[in-house]
């Protein structure tokens, strides 16, 4: 089912993100994670696309597998910066054949070797427009509460997001953030510029100090000093508990603010997500 239709019918949605395992031995972990999280009756799940399309075949395979084996509503991520129109057409045809009608349209990371980079698409809004013209898919795009790491300003960043919406995006899923103030400020900027599609906040708990460094280097997300101090000099078990408690409170505040839903970055593991959901009062249907 198209996510745009679900969002038009429901006041609140839950969704999970997975990535294709690089190693065969990790596939069992993902299978187990999907099995557990399916019990929380997600409205949709998404499957990521590796940098430069590096996991293209695996992404397509897992997207189809999750839909057909687990009967879940699936959205496939699709990056365009290294793709030609023919490449995109080939993927879209496969998805249509399997009745997968949701895509998260992304630019993707620009490769270091730009000489050999295909140039049919330079920006995500161009991919959105191209897919929209196929008149089959519900299209999501990424939003950045603290601004994209490459963006020159928050004002320019929200202008680029508006271009993606104006060319056909049906909804927005945000990058992870750890201070709700950034998300609420992002909503204000979106409203002022005329963005009126549903915006889903992306949630990932900080459960150890090593994550803090990775998050800030990877995407520029700010981790509050108060949370870092709580995590310092703690055991792994205590850091996990602190991070989960923080995420639960973060989600509660978002829910009280009437967000349209919560999109969980699972990292292919279920423990953190199930702890947060249960802290919010969700009980798996198997129980």
Residue identified by tokens 């597998």 is: 65
> Does residue 17 have an active-site annotation?
yes
Q: 3-state DSSP call for residue 106?
A: strand
Instruction: Considering the candidates 17, 27, 159, 237, report the single residue annotated as catalytic.
Output: 17
CA 155 to chain centre: 22
Cross-strand bridge partners of residue 174? 143
Structural contact between residues 178 and 250, judged by C-beta atoms closer than 8 angstroms: yes
Strands 199-203 and 13-18: unpaired
Residue identified by tokens 């709580």 is: 230
Which H helix or E strand runs over 16? strand 13-18
Closest CA to 183 of 171, 193, 173: 173
Q: Which class for 71: exposed (0-12), middle (13-18), buried (19 or more C-beta within 10 A)?
A: exposed
Q: Tell me which residues are annotated as active site.
A: 17
């Amino acid at each position: 089912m198209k996510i745009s239709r679900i969002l038009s019918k429901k006041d609140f949605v839950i969704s999970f993100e997975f990535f294709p395992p690089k190693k065969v031995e990790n596939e069992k972990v993902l299978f187990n994670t999907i099995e557990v999280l399916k019990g929380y009756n997600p409205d949709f799940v998404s499957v990521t696309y590796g940098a430069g399309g590096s996991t293209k075949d695996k992404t397509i395979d897992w997207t189809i597998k999750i839909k057909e084996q687990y009967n879940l509503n699936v959205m496939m991520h699709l990056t365009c910066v290294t793709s030609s129109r023919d490449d995109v057409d080939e993927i879209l045809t496969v998805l249509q054949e399997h009745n997968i009608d949701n895509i998260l349209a992304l630019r993707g990371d620009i490769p270091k070797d730009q000489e050999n980079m295909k140039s049919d698409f330079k920006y995500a809004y161009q991919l959105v427009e191209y897919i929209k013209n196929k008149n089959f898919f519900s299209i999501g795009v990424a939003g950045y509460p603290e601004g994209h790491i490459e963006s020159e300003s928050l004002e320019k960043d929200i202008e680029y997001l508006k271009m993606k919406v104006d060319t056909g995006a049906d909804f927005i899923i945000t990058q992870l953030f750890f201070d709700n103030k950034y998300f609420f400020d992002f909503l204000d900027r979106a409203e002022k510029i005329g963005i009126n599609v549903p915006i889903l906040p992306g949630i990932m708990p900080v459960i150890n100090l090593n994550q803090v460094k990775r998050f800030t280097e990877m995407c520029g997300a700010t981790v509050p000093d108060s949370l870092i101090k709580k995590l310092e000099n703690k055991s792994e078990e205590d850091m996990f508990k602190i991070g989960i408690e923080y995420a639960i409170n973060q989600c509660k505040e978002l829910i009280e603010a009437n967000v349209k839903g919560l999109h969980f970055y699972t990292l292919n593991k279920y423990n953190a997500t199930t702890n947060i959901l249960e802290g919010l009062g969700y009980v798996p249907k198997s129980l």
